[in-house]
Structure 1
Amino acid sequence: MTELYDIHYPLDENNFIATDQVIAMGYFDGVHRGHQAVIAEAKKKAEEMGLPLSVLTYTPYPGLVFEKKELPWHDLTPIAEKVALLSSLGVDRVYRLNLTSKLAGLQPTAFVQNVLLPLKAKAVVAGFDHYYGAKDLQADMAHLQKFANGAFDVIAVQKQTLGQNDSQKIASRTIRKQLTEGDLEQVTAALGRTHHTTGTVVHGDARGCTLGYPTINIWTPETEFLPGIGVYVVRVEVDGQEVMGMASIGRNVTFGEGRPVTVEINLLDWSEMIYGEPVKVHWEHRLRGEVAFESVDGLIAQLENDEANTRKYFGKS
């Protein structure tokens, strides 16, 4: 099981375990295919050296330290999910270091001496564009070997793209934008898996029952990253089963203005009562945007079309 240590600069070595190890550095939000390439390179190095593989990551998101961001902030992968994904890639330990103004302002030699050496790094691996100190002091991977002064090996992993002819780097910020726009095919390609969120089934207005399309209403933790408003094809893990469905993220604008954003899912071929059950929602494909219908009949006709398209997506009639 992967060990998680929350650490703060300056490091107190009584608060964590460190042995000689290979360290992969990065924020790793989403643990996308670019991050996976970094972990794979670090894993290879760890096996060559016969050492455990660790990840040095940060909290909070670096942008919250360096600039103003809209709150609450939504990571693609909250820490528990990030650790689970890293564990599946063979990571033995995760160090989550508080990214503070003091840490971000360290000269690169101080970062090496006060962070990487106390963690007993024998090799450090990161993406080519990873920074580990004050950016105006050349604290990048290209100069880390010089600052390490032979204390550990350094490996910089080059840019990862979706295809040979694609010049755009796989990046968490791009994935967040694609999720907001509902471009789930690109999100899936970049992550190497579908994006998913979690939640709990709670009571809603029960309006779907009167329309012939009963829905489960999902309370999603505030910090999780939902796709943009729209109607989606989803797979839902619930009560030990995986069920296909069509999900609406929206404000139910047909029934009035100023309504809160909700997540409602019609589970196809499902009739069980599951209030209080935890669920995991896999976001597969965007069907359409949210529409304010002039009549309930118009909404029902659209739902029938959405169901047909959902079944077609899953190859079922």
Structure 2
Amino acid sequence: MQVIDVMPPLQAKQVSKTPVVLALGFFDGVHRGHQAVIKTAKKEADRLGLKLAVMTFNIHPAVIYRGVPAESVQYLSTIDRKTALMADLGVDLLYYFHFTPAFAKLAPQLFVDQVLVGLNAQVVVAGFDYTYGKRDVATMARLPAYAKGRFSVITVPAALDEGEKISSTRIRQALDRGDVDLANELLGYTYQTSGVVVHGEARGRTLGFPTANIEAPSSERIPGIGIYAVRMWVRGAWVDGMASVGRNVTFGAGRPVTVEINLFDFADDIYDEPVQVQWVHYLRGEVKFDGASGLIAQLNQDQRDAQQVLEGAVR
């Protein structure tokens, strides 16, 4: 897969010399609804013998449209993660357009003329609610008129789960309340974050449950406070474990939220190493114990519960 970084305006050298089927969307999380759009475009590309291209953005449009501070946005998929997911779906060309204020102000017709036609699209595919400007005029229903016969349009209907639309917002809400099971169902894969192993208070070692303290990028969305069954990618392999997202309330009030992972059957020194974490299942909420003995008993139970979950989970 070729990844093209576009600082508008689009340059001729960045455009495929042959026509493409072009899928549109921000695709945060590349969830099942997004996958339906990309798979529809892939099927059409294969039918026509064309390359599949995806156009997305380097930042969430809300940063420009609503003035949301860029540093405060937490993504379901970073650019690296989104790129990997797109490659898995068979995308040939992945365009990351820089969503600048000037680009955001493009009138719908100019967006079509400069971007969609500019990318040599023969077919454009997007979800039913995709917009490319003001919502009342830049709709999928109006796109064929703007196309003026230069490309065809395929609109993909909403993907539903339990009768409700699958959306990035719904997934974020599930993660925030710790419901990684629902988030994973809506995503169609196990939610994953990245980080680096840093030094902590080393209290877990004294309890018999040494932990890797994970410093995650501020741009990634960590599940809400609780205890989870997880897998961690470290040194080229997935290792089963359990994670605590919380404030370690047993040892005092007002503590910061940390991510600590106890790995099963693993004792290597991995300080400063990059890792990936798969959030498989929510086990329980954070509990304040009267002392270390009660916490240790609960950790033993958590380990048994996590191992049972992970044994039956898809790898």
Alpha-carbon distance between aligned partners in 2 of 1:291 and 1:76, rounded to the nearest angstrom: 27
1:106/1:134 contact within 8 Å kept = no
Structure 1 residue 315, shift from structure 2 partner: 4.2
Is 2:200 the counterpart of 1:200? Answer: no
**Count of residue pairs brought into register by the alignment:** 310
- Deviations along 1:113-132, one digit per CA (max 9) or x if unpaired, are 11111111111000010001
2:242/2:261 contact within 8 Å kept = yes
2:240/2:264 contact within 8 Å kept = yes
Alpha-carbon distance between aligned partners in 2 of 1:194 and 1:315, rounded to the nearest angstrom: 15
- Deviations along 1:121-145, one digit per CA (max 9) or x if unpaired, are 1110000100012223x21111111
Number of the residue aligned with 2:130:
130
Alpha-carbon distance between aligned partners in 2 of 1:65 and 1:225, rounded to the nearest angstrom: 20
Structure 1 residue 10, shift from structure 2 partner: 3.2
Number of the residue aligned with 1:44:
43
Structure 1 residue 4, shift from structure 2 partner: 1.6
Number of the residue aligned with 1:283:
279
Q: Which of 228, 234, 237 does residue 238 from structure 1 map onto?
A: 234
Structure 2 alignment gaps of length 5 or more: none
Number of the residue aligned with 1:53:
52
1:198/1:220 contact within 8 Å kept = yes
Structure 1 alignment gaps of length 5 or more: none
What is the SS of the residue equivalent to 2:54?
strand
Identity %: 48
- Deviations along 1:249-304, one digit per CA (max 9) or x if unpaired, are 11212222232221111112222222233221110111112222221222112212
Alpha-carbon distance between aligned partners in 2 of 1:238 and 1:172, rounded to the nearest angstrom: 28
Number of the residue aligned with 1:151:
150
- Any residues of structure 2 matched to 1:101-112 within 5 Å, and which? 101-112=101-112
Give the residue type in structure 1 aligned to 2:231.
R
Query: What's the C-alpha RMSD, in Å, of the aligned pairs?
Result: 1.7
Number of the residue aligned with 1:180:
176
Number of the residue aligned with 2:83:
83
Is 2:219 the counterpart of 1:223? Answer: yes
1:216/1:264 contact within 8 Å kept = yes
TM-score of the superposed pair, with normalisation by structure 1: 0.92
Structure 1 residue 68, shift from structure 2 partner: 4.6
Give the residue type in structure 2 aligned to 1:245.
G
What is the SS of the residue equivalent to 1:135?
coil
Number of the residue aligned with 2:295:
299
TM-score of the superposed pair, with normalisation by structure 2: 0.93
What is the SS of the residue equivalent to 1:159?
coil
1:104/1:134 contact within 8 Å kept = no
Residues 96-105 or 33-42, more deviating: 96-105
Alpha-carbon distance between aligned partners in 2 of 1:40 and 1:22, rounded to the nearest angstrom: 11
Residues 80-89 or 266-275, more deviating: 266-275
What is the SS of the residue equivalent to 2:141?
helix
Alpha-carbon distance between aligned partners in 1 of 2:231 and 2:219, rounded to the nearest angstrom: 21
- Deviations along 1:199-238, one digit per CA (max 9) or x if unpaired, are 2222211101111111111122221221011111101122
Number of the residue aligned with 2:21:
22
